[in-house]
């Protein structure tokens, strides 16, 4: 009989919704909608193209965007690269010697941090990296203070992937309204966790990834505003697909899956969020009862599914290894193999000991109340034994 293992790492990735898997399966075989969407000489290609455009419309509806503003990518990492490199390379092509300044933060996902470091090194871009407050929040007045006449881009995440803290995107967009700098938002952790509507968030570019909201891995999108038009230097050449911004044969099955996932979020966002928040709060109450447990990040300005804690009196790595029956992470999925303390927890002032002891537990659509009871029981048993 196999050991019961509970999944509480929804911030790393989510399972495909059954409806998503079913829709994707119908786009894989000869009997299904398998053709190349760019094959416009026959009915098979037309049907595939129609399916892709339906999915584009579903993603656009979720975001409150025009379907023509959705550019398909392989995920938020590629979207972040296209947004940041694409904008900087286009500016450099127009004026190679012009002073260029970029604003980001020290707690961004590595897909932004590493891309920013690249344009800094290769194109001589000057970078201001904002430091969050003790609650893990980048405040709008920090952006206002850092703005310069030559600032060309502000790139900040909507929701921090480790802490779940929420950035006030609307306020930052408002202060950039009269400034020529573009505003790029990595919203990978926001979609499906909180309402996201581009009518409320007048940003220029926004990255998203399907696997964070019950869609397939390997597919995402970049929202690129049309009015006023944002133009980017292509990063993937070969055929001029996606309005010249991203070449490559479109994976019909993945896009259909992402569209279906977006449709489900559109329909279930409010009820999912309320139920998940209750479960997360139940989990926090049970763990808090252990004593000497620190909540990392703002208590209320965070999405419903995230819980990041540091448990005192135990070695963090031993605790993580001991939680064999509960799948959690020590931070971002992209850095969880590292033995270094979380750079996000260090940025909000946690000691090396507490940063090493940080655990991210994230609840999702398929978590149930009895799962939370099980997780609290396991945490209590293991922490008491280790202490």
Stretch 230-256: mean pLDDT: 92
Domain span at residue 273? 6-15+269-382
Q: What is the mean pLDDT of residues 256-276?
A: 96
The arithmetic mean of pLDDT across residues 75-85, rounded, is 98
pLDDT in tens, 123-144: 999 999 999 999 999 999 999 9
Distance CA 250, CA 258 (A): 13
Torsions phi, psi of 69, nearest 5?
-95, 0
**CATH number of the domain bearing residue 10:** 3.90.1150.10
pLDDT at residue 67 in the model: 97
* Angle, CA of 325, 8 and 60, to the nearest 5°: 155
> Rounded mean pLDDT of 348-376?
94
**Which of 216, 214, 185 is CA-nearest to residue 65?**
185
Contact predicate 201/65, CB 8 Å: no
pLDDT > 80? residue 96: no
Alpha-carbon distance of 208 to 79, in angstroms, equals: 7
Residue 152 among the catalytic residues: no
Total count of domains within the chain: 2
- Report whether pLDDT(333) > 80: no
Strand, coil or helix: 157:
strand
Q: Tell whether the model's pLDDT for residue 60 goes beyond 70.
A: yes
**Better pLDDT: 159 or 245:** 159
Residues 148 and 277 placed together within one structural domain of the fold:
no
60 and 11 both lie in a single domain? no
Question: How much is the pLDDT for 11?
Answer: 97
Pairing of strands 220-224, 205-209: antiparallel
Local confidence band at 316 (pLDDT 50, 70, 90 cut-offs): confident
Q: Are residues 228 and 354 in the same domain?
A: no
pLDDT at 244 over 90: no
CB 69 within 8 A of CB 206: no
Q: Above pLDDT 90, what percent of the chain?
A: 85
Strand order in the sheet with 306-311: 293-295, 306-311, 358-362
Surface-to-core class of residue 382, CB atoms within 10 Å of its CB (0-12 exposed, 13-18 middle, 19+ buried): buried
Residues 251 and 336 placed together within one structural domain of the fold: no
CATH of the domain at 193: 3.40.640.10
- Residue 339's pLDDT is 65
Q: Residue 381: what pLDDT?
A: 95
Q: Which of 27, 152, 234, 334 is catalytic?
A: 334
Model pLDDT, residue 1 = 40
Residues 257 and 386: their CA atoms lie apart, in Å, by 43
**Residue 9 DSSP class:** B
List, for residues 65-78, the tens digit of each pLDDT value. 999 999 999 999 99
User: Does the pLDDT value for residue 329 go beyond 70?
Assistant: yes
From 264, 290, 310, give the residue that closes a domain: 264
Tokens of 362: 């994230």
Q: What is the mean pLDDT of residues 335-344?
A: 72
Residue 240 has pLDDT above 60, yes or no: yes
Q: Three-state SS for 122? A: helix
Model confidence band, residue 338 (pLDDT cutoffs 50, 70, 90): low
Do 276 and 231 share a domain, yes or no?
no
């Amino acid at each position: 009989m196999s050991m019961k293992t509970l999944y509480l790492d929804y911030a790393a990735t989510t399972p495909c919704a059954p409806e998503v898997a079913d829709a994707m399966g119908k786009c894989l075989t000869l009997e299904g909608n398998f053709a190349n969407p760019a094959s416009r000489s026959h009915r098979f290609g037309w049907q595939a193209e129609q399916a892709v455009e339906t999915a584009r419309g579903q993603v656009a509806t979720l975001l409150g965007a025009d379907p023509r503003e959705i550019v398909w990518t392989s995920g938020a990492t590629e979207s972040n690269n296209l947004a940041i490199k694409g904008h900087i390379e286009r500016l450099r092509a127009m004026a190679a010697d012009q002073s260029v300044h970029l604003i980001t933060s020290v707690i961004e996902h590595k897909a932004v941090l590493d891309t920013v470091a690249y344009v800094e090194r290769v194109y001589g871009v000057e970078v201001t990296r904002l430091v969050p407050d003790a609650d893990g929040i980048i405040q709008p007045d920090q952006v206002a203070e850092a703005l310069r006449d030559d600032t060309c881009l502000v790139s900040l995440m909507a929701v921090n992937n480790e802490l779940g803290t929420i950035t006030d995107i609307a306020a930052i967009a408002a202060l950039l309204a009269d400034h020529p700098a573009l505003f790029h938002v990595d919203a990978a952790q926001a979609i499906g966790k909180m309402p996201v509507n581009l009518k409320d968030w007048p940003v220029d570019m926004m990255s998203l990834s399907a696997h964070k909201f019950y869609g397939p891995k390997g597919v995402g999108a970049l929202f690129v505003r049309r009015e006023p038009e944002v133009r980017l230097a292509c990063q993937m050449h070969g055929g001029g697909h996606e309005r010249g911004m991203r070449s490559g044969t479109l994976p019909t099955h993945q896009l259909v899956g992402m569209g279906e996932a977006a449709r489900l979020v559109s329909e279930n966002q409010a009820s999912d969020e309320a139920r998940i928040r209750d479960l997360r709060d139940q989990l926090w109450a049970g763990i808090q009862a252990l004593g000497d447990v620190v909540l990392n990040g703002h208590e209320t300005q965070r999405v419903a599914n995230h819980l990041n804690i540091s448990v005192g009196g135990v070695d963090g790595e031993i605790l993580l290894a001991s939680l064999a029956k509960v799948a959690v992470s020590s931070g971002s999925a992209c850095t969880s193999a590292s033995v270094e303390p979380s750079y996000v927890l260090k940025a909000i002032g946690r000691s090396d000991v507490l940063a090493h002891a940080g655990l991210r537990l994230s609840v999702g659509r398929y978590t149930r109340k009895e799962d939370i009871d099980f997780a609290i029981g396991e945490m209590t048993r293991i922490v008491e034994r280790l202490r």
